[in-house]
Structure 1
């Protein structure tokens, strides 16, 4: 369990240490979408816990709490990074998400299983990939809608490809 604590702290800390590198404009532009996705993932974790999609064998109250470091670290900050470099180029966005999600699904989950951090239970890796793909569309769609109603959208003009 001590390893899991270090892993949790490391995931969150490393993710948040990269935040200043994003730049203030990018953080302001993409934070709401990333926070929305984090909230979405929190609800997804609650649903997944009831359906036993995955399991975090840690000494906290639930799988939800076990997944919180992943949500508040790599998923939250990673969403902003991906949006920063790919927003407005949907095909690139989709490709980057498929690559990152596949790396996590097929290699990251294997490593988590190997070290005893997390396990897929009633969800296959392919199904997990589909769950990630849906989240990719939700994130991009939220950002498109957000930009239509904020100064980010009106100041850019119509040069960026929309969803």
Structure 2
């Protein structure tokens, strides 16, 4: 059952992109990939420094450090959807991110812990992880502002 859930966590978010226009995906995919790099580095640091362990979310056997279904599936696609609905409205974007990060860490993550999908081993307080996630959200917002400026169509 856990493997089915992990596969769904990887595949269903990608399928949801069929509901968006290709221009939207093209516009926000770079920021989603940038967030994936940041998230991957954060998981590497967490593993190295013992901040937390993701022992129950391995889908392939080689993904013991970074939960592939979450980082390369759901989270990547969630970034695209959040930018689609909130980009250009900074305070809405920030509020949505704080709510989603808090919801994930205080409600979803404990449920996943009880299901054995993630480990409960963590040396960081939950609020520190939420703050880290919000910090990442601010970084990627600035990245998207830069992207928009770099790829702005010249005025004719």
Shared fold, TM over 0.5: yes
Could you tell me which residue of structure 1 aligns to residue 80 of structure 2? Answer: 80
> Which 4+ residue blocks in structure 1 deviate beyond 6 angstroms?
none
Could you say which structure has the higher helix fraction? 1
2:46–2:53 Cα contact (<8 Å) kept: no
| Alpha-carbon shift at residue 4 of structure 1 (Å) | 3.0
Could you tell me which residue of structure 2 aligns to residue 109 of structure 1? Answer: 109
Could you tell me which residue of structure 2 aligns to residue 54 of structure 1? Answer: 52
For residues 4-60 of structure 1, the C-alpha deviation after alignment (integer angstroms, 9 at most, x for no partner) is: 322210101110110111211110110001101101111111111112222222463
Where do residues 82-101 of structure 1 align in structure 2 (5 Å cutoff)?
A: 82-101=82-101
Gaps of 5+ in 2: none
- Across the two proteins, how many residue pairs are aligned to each other? 151
1:102–1:129 Cα contact (<8 Å) kept: yes
For residues 89-146 of structure 1, the C-alpha deviation after alignment (integer angstroms, 9 at most, x for no partner) is: 0000001101111110101110111011113411221111111111110110110011
Gaps of 5+ in 1: 156-163
What TM-score, normalized to structure 2? 0.89
2:86–2:92 Cα contact (<8 Å) kept: yes
Where do residues 32-71 of structure 1 align in structure 2 (5 Å cutoff)?
A: 32-58=30-56, 60-61=61-62, 63-65=64-66, 67-71=67-71
* Alpha-carbon distance between aligned partners in 2 of 1:73 and 1:34, rounded to the nearest angstrom: 11
Q: Secondary structure at the match of 1:25?
A: helix
